[in-house]
Chain A
Amino acid sequence: MEALTKVYRDQPKTVLFTAAAAIRILAALLFPALPDLLTLRAELSTPVNSFKRSETVQYRKVYSSMSEDSTHTMAAYSTSHACQAQATTAAFAVALAGHTSLHPVMLLPPIGLLCYDRVCVQSAEKGQTSETDGAIADSTKTNVAVDLRSQPQPLQFGLRFVATFICAEAFLFGFSRLILPSWRFIPSIYMTLLELPDLTPNAGLWWYFFIEMFDAFRSFFLGVFWLHMLSYSVPFCLRFQRQPLAAVVLMMGIIAVFEPYANAGDAGAWLSCLCLLGHLFELTSLHRYTFPAIATLLYSTLLGPAFHHLWIYAGSGNANFFYAITLVWSLALLILLTDTVYAALRDEWEAERPEGKGKEIRQM
């Protein structure tokens, strides 16, 4: 046991990834029917990530084999590299995630912000260590006079970051074109996301809305839904300038709730990412509705499959049953998201005004 802890302390990354890979392989070996079972669940499998479908569908072969898993991995990878102030790697990872499914592109502004933040901190630390021989390590807690001239220019950094992203994306398109016979993969991938031709039931808000939508208003509401999703990215960056990691995690939450082919996997990835903001949990549970939200999530997790079965297999319920439960699911996720936004803002405010801790506050 001690040896294990020692190994973990020495090479935490290697141990973590090895353990993850081992669990994955073991699960596949011990339960050979598991992949089949999982791909058949409506909550988990969507047209965009379905492994079974990817084996047949034209032009998506290369893409879907990378599937949803890799999108999550890429988003997480990008975040971690942004935390290490490696702008190029982070931008490339976002490009890779956005290349397979469109919406991770919305993570670009918060991740750029996070990257910029870390670059600033690093340069400040450098300046500090050269001045004070590394006396103070924690630069975020104490207010230190930072030499603004040694900071990188935000505009310059932003342009460089976006340029890296565009280059990476262009490279990926060129690479895809090399593998595939024609450029037709672009509309067949991105129109599937933009136009929602496939209305297979999933855990999101889009499918039933666009089944029932009147034909004349279909394109209008598709535009509204996409614009709505886009409308969060920049406001989050502006408001959470001091805590860019929160902006990234919240944007992942927005994507998990509002994406066109939503699934439980995305929501799960987001809920695990919430641990990055672990210092906020106390605030959410103290001031907000975390318990009702999580209770609702559990409720819809149990009732969702049941209602899906009633509609599709038993025939004793209709589509409204499952639709209602997806609404409840999205609502619970939204409440959790709003609570996190509140907690992040309050945390920032409390750092500014420590006397307000635990007191009742108002918004103005």
Chain B
Amino acid sequence: MKLSQLLTLPVALASAVLAIPEYSEHLHLRPLPNGYLYAGFNFTASTTLSAYESQHFRYFPRSLGQILQHSHTQELHLRFALGRWDDESWGSRPRDGRREGGTGVEIWAWLDSGGGRVAVEERWSNLVNSLSGLFCASLNFIDGTKTTRPVLSFEPEGTRGEGGGSMELLHGTLPHEVVCTENLTPFLKLLPCKGKAGVSSLLDGHKVFDANWQTMSIDVRPVCPVGGEECRLEIQQTVDIVLDVERSMRPRDDPIPRPRPIEELECDESKSYHAPDTCYPKRKEGEMAWSLSKIFGTPVRGSCHLADGDEGSDIGIEVLPDRLVNVLHGGSNDTLAPHKQNHDLRLFRLPDSARQHTDIMVSQQVIQQVPLQNQPPLYASRQITGFGQERGGMHAVIRNPHPDQQRIVYLESLPWFLRPYMHTLKVQSHPTNSHDKPTMDVKLEKMYYTPALDRLRGTHLELLLTVPAESTVELTYDFDKAILRYTEYPPDANRGFDVAPAVIRVLPNNTAGNGNGNAQGSYLRTTSLLLPLPTPDFSMPYNVIILTSTVIALGFGSIFNLLVRRFVLAEEVPPSPLALRVAQVAGAVGAIVQSLKGRLRGTEVGQSSGRKAAGGEGGMNGSGGGAKLNESGGKDDWAGGATSQDESRKHR
């Protein structure tokens, strides 16, 4: 049984009465293998277009409505997501992946395209900035570099009456955004019961963001009934989470996992080492026991039955028919019987009284029957290959487990600092099971590629291709990693940059498409990637500016020094006046010292014997004469220099 069909069941039931209730809510629960529980919340409100245009809001949130009117948004899809859907063990995605987003925040919207490209960009900027304020998310960082215009990947979900102007689709992603409770609180504020009553009372930030996988979505679309009734604007809010049952049921006052005392353990006594002090815990058999109040920390408080004609059920549990499900409300304990048409499903409608709490309990039970696991249309994963911070490669693997071939649209929006080389793009397929057959090139039916512009626009790549039956398609291309200005790095620059997940749309097999859901096909997204970029030294700006400037100044200085001066022989250079004066003073001082010395020696000689007196006098004369000669020689030099300079002037 398809999960998506089950989810649309209450809506289908309600539409059978031909009156769409203005507000309805539903919680779908389904245990997953290995002790996980899927919980899908769905809140749908609608208003007539005329009421919307005259700003009469009842269940449709006014804050969001006014933003949509201001930004001329025809259709809005907003996603907050965290974690990874493990499709190998959990099977196909809920709601065919149509209410799922890539890690972080993803938004796409159809805007009125009247007024040209500039007007559309203005509206888009208005929309993301207002939503950023409304949801406390960094949506305002979705600028031109994070916006793409996909061609094939998305189609409007809403039906539109005649006379609607042309629309333009814009798509933005924020893979780095960490979704948390501050995004859930404004999400709950949009609901009529504000998370105080009805199934929305289970939504508590601690539990929702403790999940292994969670995605919140808001979808606004116009719906025109076939019967010629007035068109309505519908808002659908969903929260899909996969909880680890055991972790969620830990008591709130003691959340840290500790080893349980040995008395509480069930030991596997068949083990050889089993002893009173040794225990090998026995694997729990069968399905785990859980209850809403234990998992979500609180039972369902009251109900939120507001609109007339809302006769649908509030809670649906998809378990095997043999499983025992108890409902505990207002002191009474009832067993929930399987649905008449579908035995896997049990539906429950909350009582109208607002005060009573309702809890649903499922006991531990050993059931031989294995629940049917739905296989997803495709398995997809994407990795970055290569090493180093200079270049790398993208490698996406898409596996088709089904015996039919499938046409898919592969969408990638890459940041501008990842520079792909499209001539290296290779799409090859080989059969999944047999490795004997050679790989074949897959022919791309269509390719839309908008190359990136530095700091202005990211890359948009969209491929339409066919995945052959039971084969694996590998898509590879090379890319370069750009180095950024140091102000463009985030504070944790060495963590790397997030690259948005690739969106894969599996096109429906019959192109005619009878239903709305079928025409859309199903979606799946790969995980986001972490791209390490080369980083400069962030402490260096002054040093770098100084060092580089020094080298340039050195070059400039020495070249222009040579260019603007002329050569002269070293001997032609006149000594500077200062040097002359210093030499003169030194000479004078030397002469005085010498004469003093001479006098001293003269007196000594007068006192000593006459034999030595002659030699002493000679020495004195000699040294004195030497000093004088030196001085005159210096003067001669100077004069000679002057004349030679004069001569050289004459030469010229």
Chain B, residue nearest A356 (CB): B569
Considering the chains assembled together, what is the distance between the CA atoms of A88 and B560 in angstroms? 31
Within 8 Å of chain B (Cβ to Cβ): is A312?
yes
Contacts of B548 in A (CB 8 A): 205, 208-209, 327
Within 8 Å of chain B (Cβ to Cβ): is A228?
yes
* One of B4-12, B66-74, B382-390, B618-626 at the interface: B382-390
- A258's contact among B485, B545, B552, by CB below 8 Å, is which? B552
In the complex, how many residues of chain A place their beta carbon closer than 8 angstroms to a beta carbon of chain B? 57
Q: A56-B451, A198-B482, A201-B483 given as contacts; is B537 within 8 A of A361 (CB)?
A: no
Considering the chains assembled together, what is the distance between the CA atoms of A214 and B422 in angstroms? 34
Interface size class of B (residues with CB under 8 A): 35 or more
Contacts of B571 in A (CB 8 A): 359
Contacts of A197 in B (CB 8 A): 454-455
Whether B562 contacts A342 by the Cβ 8 Å rule is yes
Considering the chains assembled together, what is the distance between the CA atoms of A313 and B534 in angstroms? 10
A200, A257, A331 pick with most chain B CB within 10 angstroms: A200
Contacts of B552 in A (CB 8 A): 205, 228, 258
Within 8 Å of chain A (Cβ to Cβ): is B444?
no
Chain A, residue nearest B454 (CB): A197
Within 8 Å of chain B (Cβ to Cβ): is A58?
yes
Considering the chains assembled together, what is the distance between the CA atoms of A58 and B421 in angstroms? 11
Whether A319 contacts B534 by the Cβ 8 Å rule is yes
The minimal Cβ–Cβ distance linking B541 to chain A, given in whole angstroms, is 4
Considering the chains assembled together, what is the distance between the CA atoms of A232 and B536 in angstroms? 31
The minimal Cβ–Cβ distance linking A57 to chain B, given in whole angstroms, is 7
Within 8 Å of chain A (Cβ to Cβ): is B555?
yes
Segment 189-213 of A: residues with Cβ below 8 Å from B = 197-201, 205, 207-213
The minimal Cβ–Cβ distance linking A304 to chain B, given in whole angstroms, is 14
Within 8 Å of chain B (Cβ to Cβ): is A84?
no
The minimal Cβ–Cβ distance linking A47 to chain B, given in whole angstroms, is 9
Segment 548-573 of B: residues with Cβ below 8 Å from A = 548, 551-552, 554-556, 558-563, 565-571, 573
Q: A56-B451, A215-B487, A228-B552 given as contacts; is B421 within 8 A of A364 (CB)?
A: no
Whether A363 contacts B483 by the Cβ 8 Å rule is no
Contacts of B560 in A (CB 8 A): 235
Considering the chains assembled together, what is the distance between the CA atoms of A45 and B558 in angstroms? 30
Per-residue contact bits, chain A 341-357, to B (CB 8 Å; 1 contact, 0 not): 11001100100010010
Whether A318 contacts B537 by the Cβ 8 Å rule is yes
Whether A338 contacts B558 by the Cβ 8 Å rule is yes
Within 8 Å of chain A (Cβ to Cβ): is B512?
no
Whether B454 contacts A198 by the Cβ 8 Å rule is yes
Whether A214 contacts B541 by the Cβ 8 Å rule is yes
Within 8 Å of chain A (Cβ to Cβ): is B486?
yes
Whether A257 contacts B567 by the Cβ 8 Å rule is no
Q: A201-B483, A232-B559, A327-B551 given as contacts; is B536 within 8 A of A211 (CB)?
A: yes
- B562's contact among A207, A212, A359, A363, by CB below 8 Å, is which? A363
Segment 421-439 of B: residues with Cβ below 8 Å from A = 421-423
- Name B's A-contacting residues (CB within 8 A): 387-391, 419-423, 451, 454-455, 480, 482-487, 534-537, 540-541, 544-545, 547-548, 551-552, 554-556, 558-563, 565-571, 573
> Can you report 17 residue pairs joining A to B where beta carbons are below 8 Å apart?
A201-B483, A205-B551, A205-B552, A208-B548, A214-B541, A231-B556, A258-B552, A319-B536, A327-B551, A334-B551, A345-B562, A349-B567, A353-B569, A359-B569, A361-B570, A364-B565, A364-B566
- 17 further A-B contacts with Cβ under 8 Å, apart from A56-B421, A57-B451, A331-B551, are A56-B422, A200-B483, A205-B551, A209-B545, A210-B485, A212-B536, A213-B485, A213-B541, A312-B390, A313-B387, A313-B389, A319-B534, A338-B559, A345-B563, A362-B568, A363-B561, A363-B568
- Name A's B-contacting residues (CB within 8 A): 40, 42, 52-53, 55-58, 197-201, 205, 207-215, 228, 231-232, 235-236, 239, 257-258, 311-313, 318-320, 323, 327, 330-331, 334, 337-338, 341-342, 345-346, 349, 353, 356, 359-364
